[in-house]
Structure 1
Amino acid sequence: MGRPGGGLAVARRTSDEPSFVLHRYDWSESSLILEVFSRHHGRVALVAKGAKRPSSNFRPVLLPLQPLRLAFGGDAEIRTLKSAEWVGGQVMPTGDALLAGYHLNELLLRLLPRDDPHPRLFDAYATAVQVLASEHGEALEPALRAFELLLLREAGHLPSLDVQTLAMAPLQAQERYSLVPEAGLVAAAPDAERASLEGAQWLALQAALDDSAPFTATLRAAAGLQELKPQLRHLLHYHCGVSTLRTRQLMLDLQAL
Protein backbone atom coordinates (compact mmCIF):
# COMPACT_ATOMS: atom_id res chain seq x y z
CA MET A 1 0.00 0.00 0.00
CA GLY A 2 1.29 3.47 -0.85
CA ARG A 3 2.09 6.08 1.76
CA PRO A 4 0.17 9.38 1.87
CA GLY A 5 1.15 11.41 -1.16
CA GLY A 6 1.48 8.36 -3.39
CA GLY A 7 4.98 7.20 -2.35
CA LEU A 8 5.64 3.50 -1.96
CA ALA A 9 6.86 2.00 1.32
CA VAL A 10 10.33 0.64 0.60
CA ALA A 11 11.94 -1.85 2.97
CA ARG A 12 15.52 -1.03 3.86
CA ARG A 13 18.16 -3.41 2.52
CA THR A 14 21.71 -3.63 3.83
CA SER A 15 24.40 -5.66 2.07
CA ASP A 16 27.98 -6.69 2.78
CA GLU A 17 27.80 -5.34 6.33
CA PRO A 18 30.76 -6.16 8.64
CA SER A 19 29.19 -7.85 11.67
CA PHE A 20 29.59 -10.19 14.63
CA VAL A 21 26.95 -12.39 16.25
CA LEU A 22 26.63 -11.46 19.93
CA HIS A 23 23.87 -13.88 20.92
CA ARG A 24 21.39 -16.27 19.33
CA TYR A 25 18.25 -17.94 20.60
CA ASP A 26 15.47 -20.12 19.23
CA TRP A 27 12.58 -18.44 17.47
CA SER A 28 10.81 -21.48 16.08
CA GLU A 29 11.58 -25.13 15.35
CA SER A 30 13.73 -24.12 12.40
CA SER A 31 14.69 -20.45 12.88
CA LEU A 32 16.86 -18.27 15.13
CA ILE A 33 16.80 -14.73 16.43
CA LEU A 34 20.25 -13.14 16.32
CA GLU A 35 21.60 -10.16 18.24
CA VAL A 36 24.27 -8.76 15.92
CA PHE A 37 26.86 -5.99 16.31
CA SER A 38 27.32 -4.34 12.92
CA ARG A 39 29.75 -1.60 11.96
CA HIS A 40 27.37 0.88 10.32
CA HIS A 41 24.08 0.08 12.08
CA GLY A 42 25.17 -0.79 15.62
CA ARG A 43 23.35 -3.55 17.46
CA VAL A 44 20.52 -5.05 15.41
CA ALA A 45 18.12 -7.98 15.82
CA LEU A 46 17.73 -10.37 12.91
CA VAL A 47 15.63 -13.44 12.24
CA ALA A 48 17.56 -16.19 10.47
CA LYS A 49 14.80 -18.25 8.88
CA GLY A 50 15.53 -21.96 8.57
CA ALA A 51 18.96 -21.56 10.19
CA LYS A 52 18.49 -24.65 12.39
CA ARG A 53 17.84 -26.97 9.47
CA PRO A 54 20.77 -29.32 8.67
CA SER A 55 20.76 -28.14 5.05
CA SER A 56 20.83 -24.41 5.89
CA ASN A 57 23.75 -22.36 4.59
CA PHE A 58 23.47 -20.28 7.76
CA ARG A 59 24.07 -23.19 10.11
CA PRO A 60 27.92 -23.39 9.97
CA VAL A 61 28.41 -19.61 9.68
CA LEU A 62 26.40 -17.92 12.45
CA LEU A 63 28.95 -18.35 15.23
CA PRO A 64 30.01 -15.83 17.88
CA LEU A 65 33.44 -14.16 17.82
CA GLN A 66 33.82 -14.70 14.09
CA PRO A 67 33.94 -11.87 11.51
CA LEU A 68 31.00 -12.00 9.12
CA ARG A 69 29.56 -10.09 6.19
CA LEU A 70 25.77 -9.96 6.40
CA ALA A 71 22.91 -8.84 4.20
CA PHE A 72 19.57 -8.09 5.84
CA GLY A 73 16.42 -6.17 5.13
CA GLY A 74 13.09 -4.96 6.46
CA ASP A 75 11.84 -2.00 8.45
CA ALA A 76 10.53 -3.85 11.52
CA GLU A 77 12.31 -4.00 14.86
CA ILE A 78 13.54 -7.49 13.95
CA ARG A 79 14.85 -7.55 10.38
CA THR A 80 15.33 -10.56 8.13
CA LEU A 81 18.75 -12.05 7.46
CA LYS A 82 19.24 -12.54 3.72
CA SER A 83 22.81 -13.88 3.51
CA ALA A 84 25.82 -14.49 5.74
CA GLU A 85 29.44 -14.98 4.72
CA TRP A 86 32.32 -15.91 7.01
CA VAL A 87 35.23 -13.53 6.44
CA GLY A 88 37.77 -15.95 7.91
CA GLY A 89 41.27 -15.15 9.04
CA GLN A 90 41.06 -16.21 12.68
CA VAL A 91 40.24 -19.25 14.78
CA MET A 92 37.64 -19.48 17.53
CA PRO A 93 39.03 -18.46 20.94
CA THR A 94 39.17 -21.23 23.53
CA GLY A 95 39.35 -21.52 27.32
CA ASP A 96 39.70 -18.25 29.20
CA ALA A 97 39.82 -16.32 25.93
CA LEU A 98 36.42 -17.74 24.92
CA LEU A 99 34.88 -16.68 28.24
CA ALA A 100 36.47 -13.26 27.79
CA GLY A 101 34.81 -12.98 24.39
CA TYR A 102 31.42 -13.85 25.86
CA HIS A 103 32.08 -11.19 28.50
CA LEU A 104 32.58 -8.56 25.79
CA ASN A 105 29.39 -9.71 24.05
CA GLU A 106 27.37 -9.45 27.25
CA LEU A 107 28.62 -5.91 27.86
CA LEU A 108 27.61 -4.85 24.35
CA LEU A 109 24.16 -6.37 24.78
CA ARG A 110 23.62 -4.62 28.09
CA LEU A 111 25.11 -1.19 27.37
CA LEU A 112 24.34 -0.45 23.70
CA PRO A 113 20.81 0.35 22.53
CA ARG A 114 19.72 -1.05 19.18
CA ASP A 115 20.27 0.85 15.94
CA ASP A 116 22.91 3.13 17.46
CA PRO A 117 26.06 2.97 15.26
CA HIS A 118 29.49 3.00 16.90
CA PRO A 119 31.98 2.29 14.07
CA ARG A 120 35.07 3.09 16.20
CA LEU A 121 33.84 0.74 18.91
CA PHE A 122 33.15 -1.93 16.29
CA ASP A 123 36.74 -1.64 15.06
CA ALA A 124 38.00 -1.93 18.65
CA TYR A 125 35.83 -5.02 19.19
CA ALA A 126 37.13 -6.64 16.00
CA THR A 127 40.71 -6.04 17.14
CA ALA A 128 39.94 -7.33 20.63
CA VAL A 129 38.53 -10.54 19.19
CA GLN A 130 41.70 -10.97 17.13
CA VAL A 131 43.74 -10.66 20.33
CA LEU A 132 41.55 -13.24 22.07
CA ALA A 133 41.97 -15.64 19.14
CA SER A 134 45.75 -15.29 19.19
CA GLU A 135 48.09 -17.28 21.41
CA HIS A 136 49.28 -14.20 23.33
CA GLY A 137 47.67 -14.93 26.69
CA GLU A 138 49.55 -12.11 28.39
CA ALA A 139 47.51 -9.62 26.33
CA LEU A 140 44.14 -11.01 27.48
CA GLU A 141 43.62 -8.85 30.58
CA PRO A 142 44.92 -5.60 29.01
CA ALA A 143 42.69 -6.22 25.98
CA LEU A 144 39.65 -6.61 28.22
CA ARG A 145 40.44 -3.43 30.15
CA ALA A 146 41.05 -1.49 26.93
CA PHE A 147 37.73 -2.55 25.44
CA GLU A 148 35.84 -1.90 28.67
CA LEU A 149 37.21 1.64 28.80
CA LEU A 150 36.35 2.32 25.16
CA LEU A 151 32.84 0.87 25.57
CA LEU A 152 32.17 2.94 28.69
CA ARG A 153 33.32 6.06 26.85
CA GLU A 154 31.23 5.33 23.75
CA ALA A 155 28.18 4.66 25.94
CA GLY A 156 28.70 7.98 27.75
CA HIS A 157 29.54 6.43 31.12
CA LEU A 158 33.25 7.26 31.43
CA PRO A 159 34.34 10.60 32.86
CA SER A 160 37.47 12.36 31.68
CA LEU A 161 40.47 10.61 33.23
CA ASP A 162 42.73 13.66 33.29
CA VAL A 163 40.84 15.68 35.94
CA GLN A 164 39.01 15.10 39.23
CA THR A 165 35.37 14.82 38.17
CA LEU A 166 33.54 16.82 40.86
CA ALA A 167 36.30 19.23 41.87
CA MET A 168 37.49 19.79 38.26
CA ALA A 169 40.99 19.93 39.71
CA PRO A 170 44.03 18.63 37.82
CA LEU A 171 45.53 15.30 38.81
CA GLN A 172 48.82 15.17 40.68
CA ALA A 173 51.14 12.59 39.15
CA GLN A 174 52.12 10.87 42.40
CA GLU A 175 48.73 11.07 44.17
CA ARG A 176 46.24 8.22 43.94
CA TYR A 177 42.70 8.49 42.59
CA SER A 178 39.75 6.08 42.41
CA LEU A 179 37.12 5.72 39.69
CA VAL A 180 33.74 5.29 41.41
CA PRO A 181 30.29 4.96 39.80
CA GLU A 182 28.45 7.98 41.22
CA ALA A 183 31.29 10.48 41.57
CA GLY A 184 33.73 9.71 38.74
CA LEU A 185 37.42 10.18 39.43
CA VAL A 186 38.07 11.22 43.04
CA ALA A 187 41.01 11.37 45.45
CA ALA A 188 41.53 7.88 46.85
CA ALA A 189 40.83 7.06 50.47
CA PRO A 190 43.93 6.08 52.50
CA ASP A 191 42.90 2.40 52.50
CA ALA A 192 41.93 2.27 48.78
CA GLU A 193 45.33 1.50 47.24
CA ARG A 194 44.05 -1.73 45.67
CA ALA A 195 41.21 0.18 44.00
CA SER A 196 43.08 3.26 42.82
CA LEU A 197 45.77 4.38 40.39
CA GLU A 198 48.35 7.13 40.46
CA GLY A 199 47.51 10.35 38.67
CA ALA A 200 50.23 9.68 36.09
CA GLN A 201 48.60 6.34 35.25
CA TRP A 202 45.15 7.89 34.77
CA LEU A 203 46.68 10.58 32.57
CA ALA A 204 48.39 7.92 30.45
CA LEU A 205 45.08 6.09 30.02
CA GLN A 206 43.32 9.28 28.91
CA ALA A 207 46.08 10.02 26.40
CA ALA A 208 45.75 6.46 25.06
CA LEU A 209 41.96 6.81 24.68
CA ASP A 210 42.55 9.99 22.69
CA ASP A 211 45.12 8.31 20.42
CA SER A 212 44.37 7.82 16.72
CA ALA A 213 44.51 4.04 17.37
CA PRO A 214 42.80 4.02 20.77
CA PHE A 215 42.41 0.27 21.33
CA THR A 216 46.07 -0.57 20.75
CA ALA A 217 47.27 2.46 22.71
CA THR A 218 44.93 1.75 25.63
CA LEU A 219 45.88 -1.93 25.68
CA ARG A 220 49.50 -0.90 26.14
CA ALA A 221 48.64 1.71 28.78
CA ALA A 222 46.51 -0.81 30.73
CA ALA A 223 49.19 -3.53 30.80
CA GLY A 224 50.18 -4.30 34.39
CA LEU A 225 47.48 -2.11 35.97
CA GLN A 226 45.89 -4.76 38.18
CA GLU A 227 44.15 -2.08 40.27
CA LEU A 228 42.15 -0.99 37.20
CA LYS A 229 40.12 -4.21 37.02
CA PRO A 230 38.02 -3.86 40.23
CA GLN A 231 37.27 -0.21 39.48
CA LEU A 232 35.99 -0.95 35.99
CA ARG A 233 34.06 -3.97 37.28
CA HIS A 234 32.14 -1.82 39.78
CA LEU A 235 31.47 0.83 37.13
CA LEU A 236 30.22 -1.74 34.62
CA HIS A 237 27.97 -3.47 37.17
CA TYR A 238 26.52 -0.10 38.15
CA HIS A 239 25.61 0.87 34.58
CA CYS A 240 24.48 -2.64 33.63
CA GLY A 241 22.20 -2.68 36.69
CA VAL A 242 23.50 -6.02 37.98
CA SER A 243 25.61 -7.17 40.91
CA THR A 244 27.43 -9.80 38.84
CA LEU A 245 27.58 -10.28 35.08
CA ARG A 246 26.51 -13.70 33.80
CA THR A 247 29.87 -14.46 32.22
CA ARG A 248 31.72 -13.56 35.43
CA GLN A 249 29.40 -15.82 37.44
CA LEU A 250 30.04 -18.63 34.94
CA MET A 251 33.79 -18.09 35.34
CA LEU A 252 33.48 -18.23 39.14
CA ASP A 253 31.38 -21.40 38.93
CA LEU A 254 33.95 -23.09 36.68
CA GLN A 255 36.80 -22.12 39.03
CA ALA A 256 34.88 -23.66 41.92
CA LEU A 257 34.58 -27.08 40.24
Structure 2
Amino acid sequence: MTASAPQNAYVLHRRPYRETSLLVELFSERDGRVGVVARGGRKPRKGGPVLEPFRPLEVAWTGRGELRNLAGAEAAGPAAALRGEALYLGLYLNELLVRLCPRFDPYPRVFGVYEHALAALAGGERDVPLRRLERCLVEDLGVAPDWERCAGCGAPVEAAERYAWEAERGLLCGSCSPAESAFPGRAVRFLAGAEGDPAPEDRRRARDLMRAVLGPYLGPRPLESRALLQSLRRKGGRS
Protein backbone atom coordinates (compact mmCIF):
# COMPACT_ATOMS: atom_id res chain seq x y z
CA MET A 1 0.00 0.00 0.00
CA THR A 2 1.33 3.43 -0.95
CA ALA A 3 2.37 5.59 1.99
CA SER A 4 1.15 9.14 2.45
CA ALA A 5 3.45 12.00 1.51
CA PRO A 6 5.82 12.84 4.38
CA GLN A 7 4.78 15.75 6.59
CA ASN A 8 5.76 17.47 9.81
CA ALA A 9 4.21 16.19 13.02
CA TYR A 10 4.54 15.90 16.79
CA VAL A 11 3.65 13.09 19.18
CA LEU A 12 0.79 14.15 21.45
CA HIS A 13 0.36 10.86 23.30
CA ARG A 14 1.56 7.28 23.09
CA ARG A 15 0.87 4.04 24.91
CA PRO A 16 2.01 0.42 24.62
CA TYR A 17 0.23 -1.83 22.15
CA ARG A 18 0.73 -5.58 22.15
CA GLU A 19 4.27 -6.79 22.81
CA THR A 20 6.48 -4.40 20.86
CA SER A 21 4.25 -1.73 19.32
CA LEU A 22 2.81 1.65 20.25
CA LEU A 23 -0.49 3.43 19.72
CA VAL A 24 0.44 7.02 18.94
CA GLU A 25 -1.62 10.19 18.59
CA LEU A 26 0.14 12.52 16.17
CA PHE A 27 -0.55 16.18 15.47
CA SER A 28 0.40 16.72 11.84
CA GLU A 29 0.77 19.92 9.87
CA ARG A 30 -1.52 18.95 6.97
CA ASP A 31 -3.94 16.39 8.41
CA GLY A 32 -4.32 17.47 12.04
CA ARG A 33 -4.66 14.77 14.68
CA VAL A 34 -3.98 11.26 13.38
CA GLY A 35 -3.90 7.98 15.30
CA VAL A 36 -1.30 5.46 14.14
CA VAL A 37 0.04 2.06 15.09
CA ALA A 38 3.84 2.13 15.33
CA ARG A 39 4.74 -1.52 14.86
CA GLY A 40 7.92 -2.36 16.72
CA GLY A 41 7.91 1.13 18.19
CA ARG A 42 8.95 -0.13 21.63
CA LYS A 43 12.06 -1.92 20.37
CA PRO A 44 15.43 -0.28 21.09
CA ARG A 45 16.53 2.00 18.25
CA LYS A 46 20.02 3.09 17.35
CA GLY A 47 20.36 6.74 18.29
CA GLY A 48 17.56 6.59 20.87
CA PRO A 49 13.77 6.86 20.65
CA VAL A 50 12.18 9.08 18.02
CA LEU A 51 8.49 8.83 18.90
CA GLU A 52 8.61 11.07 21.96
CA PRO A 53 6.61 14.20 22.78
CA PHE A 54 7.87 17.66 21.82
CA ARG A 55 10.26 16.40 19.11
CA PRO A 56 9.62 17.66 15.56
CA LEU A 57 9.16 14.70 13.22
CA GLU A 58 8.72 13.91 9.56
CA VAL A 59 6.18 11.09 9.29
CA ALA A 60 4.24 9.05 6.76
CA TRP A 61 1.55 6.40 7.18
CA THR A 62 -0.54 3.89 5.27
CA GLY A 63 -4.15 2.78 5.59
CA ARG A 64 -7.59 4.31 5.32
CA GLY A 65 -9.35 3.58 8.61
CA GLU A 66 -9.63 5.52 11.84
CA LEU A 67 -6.25 4.10 12.92
CA ARG A 68 -3.42 4.24 10.36
CA ASN A 69 -0.15 2.30 10.20
CA LEU A 70 3.00 4.34 10.69
CA ALA A 71 5.20 3.84 7.63
CA GLY A 72 8.09 6.05 8.68
CA ALA A 73 9.15 8.57 11.31
CA GLU A 74 12.37 10.54 11.34
CA ALA A 75 13.48 13.26 13.73
CA ALA A 76 13.36 16.70 12.09
CA GLY A 77 15.22 18.36 14.95
CA PRO A 78 15.91 18.06 18.68
CA ALA A 79 13.06 17.77 21.16
CA ALA A 80 12.08 20.96 22.98
CA ALA A 81 13.92 20.97 26.32
CA LEU A 82 10.94 21.12 28.67
CA ARG A 83 11.75 20.47 32.31
CA GLY A 84 9.95 20.95 35.60
CA GLU A 85 6.83 23.08 35.29
CA ALA A 86 7.43 23.66 31.57
CA LEU A 87 7.15 19.91 30.96
CA TYR A 88 3.70 19.75 32.56
CA LEU A 89 2.56 22.84 30.66
CA GLY A 90 3.65 21.15 27.44
CA LEU A 91 1.66 18.05 28.42
CA TYR A 92 -1.32 20.34 29.04
CA LEU A 93 -1.11 21.66 25.48
CA ASN A 94 -0.88 18.11 24.15
CA GLU A 95 -3.92 17.04 26.16
CA LEU A 96 -5.92 20.01 24.87
CA LEU A 97 -5.18 19.02 21.28
CA VAL A 98 -6.10 15.37 21.90
CA ARG A 99 -9.35 16.28 23.65
CA LEU A 100 -10.53 19.07 21.35
CA CYS A 101 -9.24 18.37 17.83
CA PRO A 102 -11.23 15.81 15.80
CA ARG A 103 -9.10 13.35 13.91
CA PHE A 104 -8.17 14.21 10.31
CA ASP A 105 -9.30 17.85 10.55
CA PRO A 106 -6.36 20.06 9.51
CA TYR A 107 -5.39 22.95 11.77
CA PRO A 108 -2.22 24.34 10.16
CA ARG A 109 -2.39 27.64 12.07
CA VAL A 110 -2.72 25.81 15.38
CA PHE A 111 0.24 23.63 14.37
CA GLY A 112 2.42 26.71 13.89
CA VAL A 113 1.31 28.28 17.17
CA TYR A 114 1.97 24.97 18.94
CA GLU A 115 5.54 24.89 17.61
CA HIS A 116 6.13 28.45 18.82
CA ALA A 117 4.59 27.59 22.20
CA LEU A 118 7.03 24.72 22.75
CA ALA A 119 9.98 26.97 21.93
CA ALA A 120 8.64 29.69 24.25
CA LEU A 121 8.12 27.24 27.13
CA ALA A 122 11.66 25.93 26.65
CA GLY A 123 12.85 29.54 26.79
CA GLY A 124 11.21 30.20 30.15
CA GLU A 125 7.89 31.80 29.14
CA ARG A 126 4.69 30.59 30.77
CA ASP A 127 1.32 32.37 30.43
CA VAL A 128 1.66 33.98 27.01
CA PRO A 129 2.33 30.82 24.92
CA LEU A 130 -0.48 28.94 26.68
CA ARG A 131 -3.05 31.67 26.11
CA ARG A 132 -1.99 32.11 22.47
CA LEU A 133 -2.45 28.41 21.76
CA GLU A 134 -5.81 28.30 23.58
CA ARG A 135 -7.04 31.37 21.74
CA CYS A 136 -5.93 30.04 18.34
CA LEU A 137 -7.55 26.70 19.08
CA VAL A 138 -10.98 28.07 20.03
CA GLU A 139 -10.89 30.42 17.04
CA ASP A 140 -10.08 27.67 14.56
CA LEU A 141 -12.61 25.32 16.14
CA GLY A 142 -15.21 28.05 15.63
CA VAL A 143 -16.16 28.43 19.30
CA ALA A 144 -14.31 31.64 20.25
CA PRO A 145 -16.23 34.55 21.77
CA ASP A 146 -15.80 38.11 20.61
CA TRP A 147 -12.90 39.28 22.77
CA GLU A 148 -13.28 42.91 21.72
CA ARG A 149 -16.96 43.74 22.33
CA CYS A 150 -19.72 43.08 24.85
CA ALA A 151 -22.02 40.38 23.48
CA GLY A 152 -25.04 42.27 24.82
CA CYS A 153 -24.68 45.90 23.77
CA GLY A 154 -21.68 45.75 21.46
CA ALA A 155 -19.65 48.26 23.46
CA PRO A 156 -15.86 47.87 23.06
CA VAL A 157 -14.05 46.04 25.85
CA GLU A 158 -12.31 48.62 28.03
CA ALA A 159 -9.22 47.82 30.09
CA ALA A 160 -10.58 49.62 33.17
CA GLU A 161 -13.99 47.87 33.17
CA ARG A 162 -15.00 44.42 34.41
CA TYR A 163 -16.89 41.72 32.53
CA ALA A 164 -18.98 38.63 33.19
CA TRP A 165 -18.90 35.39 31.22
CA GLU A 166 -22.07 33.53 30.24
CA ALA A 167 -21.52 30.40 28.18
CA GLU A 168 -24.75 30.93 26.22
CA ARG A 169 -24.03 34.57 25.37
CA GLY A 170 -20.35 35.38 25.81
CA LEU A 171 -18.60 38.33 27.44
CA LEU A 172 -20.97 40.87 29.00
CA CYS A 173 -20.35 44.26 30.52
CA GLY A 174 -21.77 45.17 33.93
CA SER A 175 -24.79 46.86 32.35
CA CYS A 176 -25.77 43.75 30.37
CA SER A 177 -25.38 40.99 32.96
CA PRO A 178 -26.75 40.53 36.48
CA ALA A 179 -23.92 38.06 37.16
CA GLU A 180 -20.77 39.05 39.00
CA SER A 181 -18.38 40.89 36.69
CA ALA A 182 -15.39 38.75 37.61
CA PHE A 183 -13.00 39.43 34.74
CA PRO A 184 -11.01 42.67 34.37
CA GLY A 185 -10.97 44.22 30.94
CA ARG A 186 -7.17 44.03 31.00
CA ALA A 187 -7.41 40.22 31.26
CA VAL A 188 -9.85 40.10 28.34
CA ARG A 189 -7.59 42.33 26.26
CA PHE A 190 -4.65 40.05 27.10
CA LEU A 191 -6.57 37.15 25.57
CA ALA A 192 -7.34 39.31 22.55
CA GLY A 193 -3.63 40.02 22.12
CA ALA A 194 -4.00 43.72 22.95
CA GLU A 195 -2.28 43.65 26.37
CA GLY A 196 1.29 42.41 26.07
CA ASP A 197 2.41 42.38 29.71
CA PRO A 198 -0.50 42.43 32.19
CA ALA A 199 -0.14 42.24 35.95
CA PRO A 200 0.00 38.79 37.60
CA GLU A 201 -3.61 39.03 38.85
CA ASP A 202 -4.83 39.88 35.34
CA ARG A 203 -2.91 36.89 33.99
CA ARG A 204 -4.64 34.63 36.52
CA ARG A 205 -8.05 36.01 35.61
CA ALA A 206 -7.28 35.52 31.91
CA ARG A 207 -6.44 31.89 32.70
CA ASP A 208 -9.72 31.49 34.60
CA LEU A 209 -11.72 33.06 31.77
CA MET A 210 -10.16 30.75 29.21
CA ARG A 211 -10.98 27.78 31.43
CA ALA A 212 -14.60 28.92 31.45
CA VAL A 213 -14.60 29.20 27.66
CA LEU A 214 -13.02 25.76 27.16
CA GLY A 215 -14.98 23.97 29.89
CA PRO A 216 -18.13 23.03 27.92
CA TYR A 217 -16.02 21.53 25.12
CA LEU A 218 -13.65 19.61 27.39
CA GLY A 219 -16.54 18.06 29.33
CA PRO A 220 -16.60 16.92 32.97
CA ARG A 221 -13.54 14.66 32.86
CA PRO A 222 -10.63 16.47 34.55
CA LEU A 223 -7.45 17.19 32.63
CA GLU A 224 -4.74 14.82 33.85
CA SER A 225 -1.98 17.31 33.04
CA ARG A 226 -3.65 19.98 35.17
CA ALA A 227 -3.79 17.63 38.17
CA LEU A 228 -0.10 16.78 37.72
CA LEU A 229 0.82 20.46 37.50
CA GLN A 230 -1.17 21.32 40.62
CA SER A 231 0.59 18.51 42.49
CA LEU A 232 3.98 19.82 41.37
CA ARG A 233 3.11 23.35 42.50
CA ARG A 234 1.86 22.16 45.89
CA LYS A 235 5.18 20.41 46.46
CA GLY A 236 6.96 23.60 45.51
CA GLY A 237 4.76 25.78 47.73
CA ARG A 238 2.89 27.51 44.88
CA SER A 239 -0.88 27.82 44.43
TM interval, short-chain normalised: 0.7 to 0.9
Q: Provide the residue aligned with 1:196 in structure 2.
A: 183
Q: Provide the residue aligned with 1:150 in structure 2.
A: 136
- Give runs of aligned pairs for residues 161-176 of structure 1, distance below 5 A: 161-165=147-151, 167-173=152-158, 174-176=160-162
Whether 1:235 and 2:222 are equivalent positions in the alignment is no
Offset at residue 47 of structure 1 (A): 0.5
Q: Provide the residue aligned with 2:21 in structure 1.
A: 31
Runs of 4+ in 1 over 3 A off after TM superposition: 56-59, 188-193, 200-206, 220-225
Whether 1:73 and 2:62 are equivalent positions in the alignment is yes
Q: Provide the residue aligned with 2:41 in structure 1.
A: 51
User: Among residues 159, 174, 178, which one is paired with 2:145 in the alignment?
Assistant: 159
For this pair of structures, how many residues does the alignment match?
Answer: 229
Q: Secondary structure at the match of 2:148?
A: coil
Offset at residue 235 of structure 1 (A): 2.1
TM-score, with structure 2 as normaliser: 0.85
CA distance in 2, matches of 1:223, 1:58: 44
CA distance in 2, matches of 1:104, 1:241: 16
Q: Secondary structure at the match of 2:226?
A: helix
- Give runs of aligned pairs for residues 7-26 of structure 1, distance below 5 A: 13-26=3-16
Gaps of 5+ in 1: 1-10, 209-217
Whether 1:183 and 2:173 are equivalent positions in the alignment is no
CA distance in 1, matches of 2:16, 2:72: 18
Offset at residue 204 of structure 1 (A): 6.6
- Give runs of aligned pairs for residues 105-120 of structure 1, distance below 5 A: 105-120=94-109
Gaps of 5+ in 2: none
CA distance in 2, matches of 1:172, 1:187: 8
Offset at residue 179 of structure 1 (A): 3.5
Please tell me the root mean square deviation across aligned C-alpha atoms, in Å: 2.5
CA distance in 2, matches of 1:243, 1:28: 27
Offset at residue 201 of structure 1 (A): 6.0
Q: Provide the residue aligned with 1:211 in structure 2.
A: none
Q: 1:180 to 1:13 in 2, by over 3 A?
A: farther
Q: Provide the residue aligned with 1:40 in structure 2.
A: 30
Offset at residue 58 of structure 1 (A): 9.6
Q: Secondary structure at the match of 2:27?
A: strand
Q: Taking every aligned residue pair, what percent have the same amino acid on both sides?
A: 33
CA distance in 2, matches of 1:235, 1:222: 22
Q: Verify the 8 A CA contact 1:72 1:83 in the aligned structure 2.
A: yes
CA distance in 2, matches of 1:131, 1:50: 33
Offset at residue 145 of structure 1 (A): 1.2
- Give runs of aligned pairs for residues 212-251 of structure 1, distance below 5 A: 221=196, 223-224=198-199, 225-226=202-203, 227-242=205-220, 244-251=222-229
Letter in 1 for 2:129: A
Q: 1:168 to 1:16 in 2, by over 3 A?
A: farther
Letter in 2 for 1:197: P
